[in-house]
């Protein structure tokens, strides 16, 4: 495809089959209509829902997502993959319209491979995020829906960027995208630390996505977990979301029981005993104590 572009050659009869994206003003709409207004009025109304997250820590970048793909109120696929490898050291989470995400990731993969061949080195995560943001910003206002977190490791170490289809590009340590992101953020904000161990990071990511799938109707299926290291990205596991949530509930119940038992063990009830021949009741308090009652009861 790159050679065809360079030589400006196209096979006869294949003009309409080439996967070229049209220019921003080249969409087929009725004459006299503004493309943005026409698509907003007559375009399809699709409900988007998912839970994807990524966070950076000292051992790399963790990316996790659910596997449920939905179309309006129907589950289209319960086992889709929402984390797409882009390069050997770079991958991204997908949220939005599935077709838009898949198309733009193919375009990004092609451009990064060409850049790596020309420059002789791996592209940086910041450069990939800037490239994707610049390409998608040309289609702003045309109902393009892509929200991604680019996770990678380059010469500067682990890096994480959020890119949206309107050209927004942000760098940070934690990002969660999708309809289940508020629930995931609640778990991440409580348990995130930059100096976590690898197993603690795995547990936190699984816990955040599992809780989000329990509360968000558009999220579910399984939990995919990826880890980007200095040597490249690694596929860690896929676990059933409901099984994970059930195990987390059992662990929380056990922790509550242990805390109650520990608190009861520290409580020491006051003992009543008779003090001397006077028959006065004492509560085990010494004179002068602020808890000493004003009057003592005599038998």
Q: CA angle 244-245-246, nearest 5°? A: 90
Conformation bin of residue 26: beta by default, left when phi > 0, alpha when psi is -120 to 50: alpha
Backbone angles phi, psi at 10, to 5 degrees: -135, 135
Of 41, 50, 93, 213, the catalytic one is 50
Instruction: Please give the Cα distance from 45 to 62 (Å, whole number).
Output: 32
- Terminal C-alpha separation, the chain: 103
Separation of alpha carbons 85 and 107, rounded Å: 13
Could you tell me where the DSSP H helices lie in the chain? 2-7, 35-42, 98-119, 125-137, 181-191, 198-215, 241-266
State the helix-helix crossing angle for 125-137 and 98-119, rounded to 10 degrees: 130
- Cα 38 from Cα 63, distance rounded (Å): 37
- Cα 185 to the center of its chain, rounded Å: 8
- Is 37 an active-site residue? no
Q: Which residues carry out catalysis?
A: 50
């Amino acid at each position: 495809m790159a050679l065809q572009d360079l030589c400006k050659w196209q096979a006869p009869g294949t003009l309409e089959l080439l996967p070229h994206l049209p220019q921003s003003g080249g969409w087929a709409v009725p004459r006299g209509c503004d493309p943005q207004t026409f698509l907003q009025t007559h375009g399809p109304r699709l409900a988007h829902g998912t839970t994807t997250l990524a966070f950076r820590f000292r051992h790399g970048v963790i990316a996790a997502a659910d596997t449920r793909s939905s179309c309006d109120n129907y589950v289209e696929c319960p086992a889709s993959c929402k984390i797409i490898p882009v390069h050997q050291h770079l991958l991204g989470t997908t949220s939005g319209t599935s077709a838009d995400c898949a198309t733009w990731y193919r375009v990004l993969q092609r451009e990064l491979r060409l850049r790596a061949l020309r420059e002789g080195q791996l592209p940086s995560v910041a450069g990939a995020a800037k490239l994707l943001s610049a390409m998608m910003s040309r289609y702003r206002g045309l109902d393009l829906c892509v929200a991604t977190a680019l996770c990678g490791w380059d010469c500067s170490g682990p890096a994480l960027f959020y890119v949206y289809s309107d050209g927004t590009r942000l760098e940070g340590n934690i990002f969660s995208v999708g309809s289940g992101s508020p629930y995931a953020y609640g778990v991440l904000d409580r348990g995130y630390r930059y100096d976590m161990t690898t197993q603690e990071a795995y547990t936190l990511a699984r816990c955040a996505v599992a809780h989000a799938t329990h509360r968000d109707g558009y999220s579910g299926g399984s939990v995919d977990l990826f880890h980007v290291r200095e040597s490249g990205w690694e596929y860690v596991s896929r676990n059933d979301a409901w099984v994970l949530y059930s195990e987390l509930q059992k662990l929380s119940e056990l922790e509550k029981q242990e805390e109650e038992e520990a608190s009861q063990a520290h409580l020491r009830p006051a003992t009543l005993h008779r003090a001397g021949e006077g028959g006065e009741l004492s509560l085990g308090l010494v004179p002068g104590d602020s808890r000493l009652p004003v009057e003592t009861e005599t038998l």
